[in-house]
Amino acid sequence: MKRLLPLLAVLLSLPLLGSQCDSGVLFEEITPTDLAAPIAVAVDTAKRRAYVVNSNNTFEFTTTHFSILDLADPANPVLLDDARNPVPFPNFSGQIYLDSAAGIAYTPNRQSDNPDDITDALLAIHVDEASADFGTVDSFTAGENPFGIACCDALGRLYVVNSGGDGDGTLDVYDPADLSTFVRISLAVASDNFGTFNGEASTEVAFLGDRAFVTSRFGNIYVINTNEVGDTSKNPIDAVVFNDHDGDYRGLATDGTLLYVVDADENNNDGLPAVRVIDPSLIPAVDPDVPTILELDIGVVQSTLVSLPKDGLPNEIAIFGGRAYVSNQDDNTVSVIDLATNSLVTNITVGDEPFGITPFTIDGVSLVYVTNIRTNSISIIDPATNTVINTFAP
């Protein structure tokens, strides 16, 4: 994960981007209407608002912010006309979870002025426009290099995946009523058959029943029993699904029955990159009093594999209307998969370096928002026609 290094290190390590060379400015000022490497979007359909995490993860701009869009016309979003919008915001934030009822958007943030720092932040942004706190950002302790976030388990808890780096990868579990404390689960695993893993490069988390699933770019899927989280007498990691062909697991999503995992591995001899369709019912429950972690090969739990564009570098995945949408960062497309047949329907060309995907429906009209990191824009897809009908690029 990219972190904010001291200024000299940044100057020495960053390539000059084309736009910077043209302007003669290394770090450009960002205007209130700009997007800056948007990486994630959450939509409140009732309030007709979209909340955009601008990561500025290429460090093209001097600063960045959190943008709020008015969706009076969802196909033609505009920046919310409020003096408090956009909200000043740290660089290098990750995914987003929106608690609409509480009026808070949560995002992990890995900005640090110390490359050896193993403590980063969970940010809580107040988005209730009627509140005096609107536009304020609270910061709470997270682990090293947090990125993935999801809510909620049966107890309403928030899960944040820390990919690690100098330390082990971890999973932090928060009660939103008190973010000052959390339960930390180490993702370090000593496997009998697949080697030892420190949990580094763990990426995203999703819930299905009383389990949380965490992906790793080293080709692992952790299976967490959420009922055991916080009970120090039990190991909440029930199982780890390994891949003896390596693998690079990133985004994951569920349709309520199956789990869909993006494998960005470029080993095309095995049909990769691809979406792996996992049947969680094939992962046995583990006796909570037994500390041993169940080890499973991916072939035992995988029902099928849907190939994606070669060299596309897929990242995020979203399930919507019986289809899966996958962002392919390197070939600037979104793949559409029919879940009834587990077949590729089409690849839709969007902006440069697509990443975050957010489908939603307002007033019976369905759309898919796709964030484009390099072109600082959001492509708006009509899922009925699989075409881009607009691009939000203020």
| pLDDT tens for each residue of 62-77 | 889 999 999 999 999 9
Chain CA centroid to CA 330, Å = 17
Q: Quick check: 11 pLDDT over 60? A: no
Give the mean pLDDT of 18-46.
Answer: 72
**DSSP calls for 246-269:** ---EEEEEE-SS-EEEEE----GG
Among 22-31, 294-303, 311-320, 372-381, the range scoring the smallest mean pLDDT is: 22-31
Three-state secondary-structure class, residue 89: strand
Q: Quick check: 61 pLDDT over 90? A: no
Q: Quick check: 240 pLDDT over 90? A: yes
Q: pTM for the whole thing? A: 0.92
Residue range 96-151, pLDDT digits in tens: 999 999 999 999 999 876 667 789 999 999 999 999 999 999 999 999 999 999 99
Q: Quick check: 32 pLDDT over 80? A: no
Closest of 157, 149, 153 to residue 120, by C-alpha:
149
Cβ–Cβ under 8 Å, residues 367 and 381:
yes
Between residues 11 and 327, the one the model is more confident about: 327
Give the mean pLDDT of 231-255.
Answer: 91
Q: Quick check: 370 pLDDT over 50? A: yes
Task: Supply the pLDDT for residue 115.
Answer: 67
Task: Supply the pLDDT for residue 33.
Answer: 82
Give the mean pLDDT of 297-319.
Answer: 96
Task: Supply the pLDDT for residue 7.
Answer: 31
Task: Supply the pLDDT for residue 293.
Answer: 85
Q: In what order do the strands lie in the sheet with 294-297?
A: 202-208, 211-216, 220-225, 237-242, 294-297
Q: Quick check: 12 pLDDT over 70? A: no
Beta carbons within 8 Å of 304's beta carbon, 6+ residues apart: 277, 342
Cβ–Cβ under 8 Å, residues 241 and 278:
yes
Task: Supply the pLDDT for residue 290.
Answer: 67
Residue range 242-252, pLDDT digits in tens: 987 779 999 99
Task: Supply the pLDDT for residue 27.
Answer: 58
Task: Supply the pLDDT for residue 42.
Answer: 98
- Which band of pLDDT confidence, cut at 50, 70 and 90, is reported for residue 31? confident
**Gap between the Cα atoms of 247 and 249, Å rounded:** 6
Give the phi and the psi of residue 366 in degrees, each rounded to 5: -100, 140
Q: In what order do the strands lie in the sheet with 120-126?
A: 97-99, 104-109, 120-126, 137-142
Task: Supply the pLDDT for residue 68.
Answer: 98
Q: Quick check: 10 pLDDT over 60? A: no
Beta carbons within 8 Å of 64's beta carbon, 6+ residues apart: 30, 36, 37, 54, 55, 56, 89, 90, 91
Q: Quick check: 264 pLDDT over 90? A: yes
Give the mean pLDDT of 205-225.
Answer: 96
Among 169-173, 188-192, 334-338, the range scoring the smallest mean pLDDT is: 188-192
Q: Quick check: 343 pLDDT over 60? A: yes
Where do we find the tokens 């596309």?
A: 312
Three-state secondary-structure class, residue 95: coil
Task: Supply the pLDDT for residue 313.
Answer: 97
End-to-end Cα separation, the chain, in angstroms: 27
Task: Supply the pLDDT for residue 63.
Answer: 83
Q: Quick check: 15 pLDDT over 50? A: no
